[in-house]
Structure 1
């Protein structure tokens, strides 16, 4: 089976695997730092409550056998250490079987996290990481040549990511067909980056050129991935350039970084030698029969499971970012099927006075817009989950129904795990007596406004999003371990905690 090996992709395999390991590390780091407030036993959407009503077959996870916050932390930190070891090239130091098992471990651990993550993990890049991570298990290490079937399956993933995103745009918002979506997108995207203000103020003809180039790269170029070299490599490099443009223009967690990794897996050594001083290919050991059989079996499984994503692509009712099985082996992708024309932001405020006469002070987040003079920061590929969900909540309160009141309850007791997700707590010594949420319309300032005021944002009050509330109303949503003297009993007719819902896996679409 000489055709099975593709030694000309040895560097492509290394580039893909190292960048994948970096993305894994970001995912596990975010899980370790954020889970207690979001998903822990005292979190806004506790995992134990989820496990009590969702069976293993619907959401496979190691936590179905046992859950504890310490176990979750140990699992996340173990995944982080494994990812860093893989990033450093540990798989190349091991026999092929051990390397295969080493790549399977972070996939299993992250699957357990995603499948119990509920609303906080309902994003397309979670499934993309798991699908790409599952294929990495079968790529082998530098002792053997990369298996060609796995490389082709990586191209199939990349094709669905790009073509699915292109189709959902073309079929969705008419501004994509008119090439005007980028008049608004850089300003209204979920989490702007430090360069987003400048991208927003590019000339409108350039915005149209951006949209047109996006259609070409996402609707036409993906088909070139399956053509002979160097055409396939040229197509992949075009995708890398567009993804780097997106990385510079905003914070989209690791979606763009993982797409770059997939595109790098397409580059053959001959193409790379044209721009880099690369030596001759080393000799590889023959691929063991057991590994060939393993790869062939998984390739057949992926092809069989690809029917639903393929059917979804050609359907006029295309769904974006849909997981078709609990293992996330083959998924449907897409991004920004619609673009918001205006930006709304929820501002959380608190006061020490139970009558609200002592003045209201604002909480600040790390990533979402708040303070007007603060330039947006770069966080991607790290994922600020609460900041992202606050963007959805500003679009519609329905997106926030499962977790918003529990969030307010934790602010009223200065819950340390929750406060670690925020940039500034205006009540460091004693918790507020009341909290509320106000809805504002935010827009980027223009050049003269920036020079005159030093503000990157201008905002206008729209309405009250959540009237002032105290612990007497939010008692059922407060952390279980809150001392009884600090948490008054709720009245008998207090609403129960709403069950965790499903929010968009990507902007513009509900799953």
Structure 2
């Protein structure tokens, strides 16, 4: 076997569709993430935000939080933030439209790396509001998928395998965190609570929660099977790898339709597509059943033109030597960076959503290592009555549960950062600086933060007093909803009880 044949085997011409999905899909998620920052970052972390980024930059070093905002004339300004977001959205749109992919092999790389650096600079100073696994997932994927190349070359096999390993880190890591973290995952009762206690339920969450116990046990068992076994099957020949990827995608879609998890599920779906061949996609659409990977490999060794004909498309010419060497060097570097993540997967002290280097490459992932069995919600209330005896009204959030007759909205893959953190506040984070700053801004009638909430109960006026109470929430049963209808009342979506004051009434108008 000559060198040219060996290099030809490093091409994966049967993954052109997967490359399109990965590159355009992650570009679309970048566009959403930059739009999200445009809309929310100034109120949360901007010049007049709850946790000002300029203060964070002054208290940290470039080694602790690398960001391009450190090298601007002004360390941070809302204007510069919006310039970064605008540039990021433009770059993302070019990939969604396929412009860099129409260029030379290397063309997508600088576009994705620039998107990565721009969003990394935002995330690095995002503090509590950006401290979630889907930020790292988007950034690491964005760093990688540009190296799938343009249409001028076939998708590199090593990059396809690297992205499958990325899927293993995400899915298997999440599965092991669950098994090690909470007994309810081991005794198959976790899903008895999850749909009701998840951070931001959607319209189908209640229906999912009210399913019978045997259904929830099946959900939990199915989650374990897919997360702990299916990712490893991605390294088996086709069509096994494609079926494994499909199983991952189906379970992620089940999460999409029953909750709001920003772009976490969609990013995982995109990564799983690295396991699906073009032949499998065509079979789904009515084509012939895909051949086994070993048969395809043999045909490429004996006669590459036969493999191209079997794939049913005009494959690009064999990748040039410089491109093959670049991919080999890049994947080798990534393998070194992934050693810590590999160790973490099999460590009894497994870390969840952890970084092992300052650039956030080769991370540990996972979610819901512990399961909340009871839902608590914080209601922030104000009144125009200085005596506090009457007129208390609750501030309405766009996504989180509040008024008991309102069902959860569909938000994802967009992300309501303040609403999401309110879930953590109800778990005990209401003593954190961001929550106290939120109370102060609402108490003074700050218009910037009010734009992140629903309709203003005081039409722009500052309340005379503001307070915070905690409630226990659960879904209304079908019987409770029917009884309300029979009584001529609006059927409740939630039932809340056990009110307790966590912040006594205070007048903040003079602040």
What's the TM-score once normalised by structure 2's chain length?
A: 0.90
Superposed, which structure 2 residues align to 1:1-12 within 5 Å?
1-12=7-18
Residues 1:455 and 2:492 are matched in the alignment: yes
Rounded Cα–Cα distance in structure 1 between residues aligned with 2:186 and 2:230: 18
Superposed, which structure 2 residues align to 1:195-344 within 5 Å?
195-276=204-285, 280-344=312-376
Look up the match of 2:4: none
Determine if contact 2:447/2:460 at 8 Å carries over to the other structure.
Answer: no
Give the CA deviation at 1:429.
3.8
Look up the match of 1:446: 477
Residues 1:45 and 2:82 are matched in the alignment: no
Residues 1:464 and 2:495 are matched in the alignment: no
Rounded Cα–Cα distance in structure 2 between residues aligned with 1:194 and 1:21: 28
Which of the pair has more CA radius of gyration? 2
Residues 1:417 and 2:454 are matched in the alignment: no
Rounded Cα–Cα distance in structure 2 between residues aligned with 1:433 and 1:98: 58
- In the TM superposition, what whole-angstrom CA distance separates every residue of 1:207-259 from its partner, at most 9, and x where no partner exists? 10111111110111121111111111110000001001111111111110000
Rounded Cα–Cα distance in structure 2 between residues aligned with 1:346 and 1:373: 16
Deviating runs (4+, > 4 A) in structure 1? none
Report the number of matched residues: 473
Rounded Cα–Cα distance in structure 2 between residues aligned with 1:446 and 1:161: 35
Give the CA deviation at 1:308.
1.1
Determine if contact 2:195/2:205 at 8 Å carries over to the other structure.
Answer: yes
Rounded Cα–Cα distance in structure 2 between residues aligned with 1:320 and 1:86: 31
Give the CA deviation at 1:373.
0.9
Which residue of 135, 139, 143 corresponds with 1:130?
139
Per mean C-alpha deviation after superposition, the further-off stretch among 318-327 and 122-131 is 318-327
- In the TM superposition, what whole-angstrom CA distance separates every residue of 1:65-92 from its partner, at most 9, and x where no partner exists? 1221100011112212222221121222
Give the CA deviation at 1:277.
5.7
Residues 1:176 and 2:192 are matched in the alignment: no
Give the CA deviation at 1:136.
1.0
Give the CA deviation at 1:93.
2.8
Look up the match of 2:297: none
Which residue of 57, 60, 66 corresponds with 1:54?
60
Look up the match of 2:409: 377
Give the CA deviation at 1:55.
0.9
Give the CA deviation at 1:358.
3.6
Corresponding residue SS for 2:469: strand
Rounded Cα–Cα distance in structure 1 between residues aligned with 2:24 and 2:177: 30
Determine if contact 2:163/2:274 at 8 Å carries over to the other structure.
Answer: yes
Determine if contact 1:438/1:461 at 8 Å carries over to the other structure.
Answer: no
Corresponding residue SS for 1:111: helix
Corresponding residue SS for 1:215: helix
Look up the match of 1:482: none
Rounded Cα–Cα distance in structure 1 between residues aligned with 2:241 and 2:107: 32
Determine if contact 2:101/2:107 at 8 Å carries over to the other structure.
Answer: no
Determine if contact 2:106/2:147 at 8 Å carries over to the other structure.
Answer: no
Per mean C-alpha deviation after superposition, the further-off stretch among 400-409 and 368-377 is 400-409
Q: Please, which runs of 5 or more residues in structure 2 have no aligned partner?
A: 1-6, 288-310, 485-490
- In the TM superposition, what whole-angstrom CA distance separates every residue of 1:169-197 from its partner, at most 9, and x where no partner exists? 11111111111111111000000011001
Per mean C-alpha deviation after superposition, the further-off stretch among 284-293 and 431-440 is 284-293
Give the CA deviation at 1:319.
1.1
What's the TM-score once normalised by structure 1's chain length?
A: 0.90
Rounded Cα–Cα distance in structure 2 between residues aligned with 1:149 and 1:97: 16
Residues 1:366 and 2:403 are matched in the alignment: no
Determine if contact 1:115/1:326 at 8 Å carries over to the other structure.
Answer: no
Give the CA deviation at 1:106.
1.0
Q: Please, which runs of 5 or more residues in structure 1 have no aligned partner?
A: 472-485, 489-511
Corresponding residue SS for 1:344: strand
Corresponding residue SS for 1:438: strand
- In the TM superposition, what whole-angstrom CA distance separates every residue of 1:48-69 from its partner, at most 9, and x where no partner exists? 1111111111211111112211
Per mean C-alpha deviation after superposition, the further-off stretch among 410-419 and 340-349 is 410-419
Per mean C-alpha deviation after superposition, the further-off stretch among 412-421 and 161-170 is 412-421
